[in-house]
């Protein structure tokens, strides 16, 4: 009988501790509201970025030449413009390129690695974020580059 009472007491303590931990976790989650940054084209079914606390999750971003609605003729110009667009999204959350902690670049032609890097390295004042550069085959609308990332407000 004593062992049974001890087991019951321990079980109640474990359940109570679990409930207390869950309540504190839920309270912390409730105070961290999500902020959605809409995309430039509202008909598309995703947000350009979602901020949760100090962390910003950026959707894939690619650009077309507004004069032709086609990819830019020059790959370096396309790289610069996709990074400009990415920077504007960061700016909407009060962040800069230096707040990025992880970036993925998708590229339709891996021979453009150096071209992209030559532009990319000019966009940071401090250390570079962790990064992947992935050969992606065809990208939407014939774009050469698409970029996505995660930023944390300093």
Residue 45 main-chain phi, psi, to 5 deg = -85, 50
Q: Quick one: average pLDDT of 139-152? A: 97
pLDDT tens per residue across span 114-129: 999 999 999 999 899 9
- Check whether residue 82 and residue 26 sit in a common domain: no
Relative orientation angle of helices 75-92 and 113-120, to the nearest 10 degrees: 40
What span, in angstroms and rounded, lies between the C-alpha atoms of 134 and 113? 10
Q: Give the tokens for residue 91.
A: 């700016």
pLDDT per residue as tens digits for the range 49-89: 999 999 999 999 999 999 999 999 999 999 999 999 999 99
The residue written with tokens 């690695």 in the block is: 113
One domain for residues 24 and 41: no
Predicted confidence at residue 4, as pLDDT, reads 46
Pair (40, 71) in one structural domain: yes
| pLDDT of 130 above 70 | yes
C-alpha dist (Å) from residue 13 to 79, 84, 132: 58, 55, 47
Structural domain boundaries enclosing 8: 1-31
Q: Are residues 65 and 119 in the same domain?
A: yes
Pair (125, 81) in one structural domain: yes
**Number of folded domains in the chain?**
2
Check whether residue 7 and residue 74 sit in a common domain: no
- Do 10 and 63 reside in the same domain of the chain? no
Note the pLDDT of residue 148: 98
**What ranges in 32-149 are assigned the alpha helix state H?**
75-92, 113-120
DSSP 45-57: SSEEEEEETTEEE
Burial class (CB in 10 A: 0-12, 13-18, 19+), 42: exposed
Q: Does 4 share its domain with 56?
A: no
Binned at pLDDT 50, 70 and 90, residue 145 comes out as very high
């Amino acid at each position: 009988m004593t062992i049974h009472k001890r087991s019951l007491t321990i079980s109640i303590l474990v359940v109570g501790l679990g409930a207390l931990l869950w309540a504190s976790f839920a309270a912390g989650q409730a105070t961290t509201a999500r902020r959605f940054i809409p995309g430039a084209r509202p008909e598309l079914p995703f947000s350009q970025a979602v901020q949760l606390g100090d962390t910003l999750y950026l959707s894939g971003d690619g650009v077309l030449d507004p004069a032709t609605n086609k990819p830019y003729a020059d790959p370096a110009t396309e790289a610069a413009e996709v990074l400009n667009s990415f920077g504007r999204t960061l700016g909407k959350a009060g962040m800069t390129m230096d707040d990025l902690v992880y970036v993925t670049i998708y590229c339709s032609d891996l021979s453009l690695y150096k071209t992209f890097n030559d532009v990319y390295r000019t966009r940071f004042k401090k250390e570079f974020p962790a990064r992947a550069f992935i050969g992606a085959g065809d990208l939407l609308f014939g774009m050469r580059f698409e970029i996505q990332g995660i930023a944390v407000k300093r």
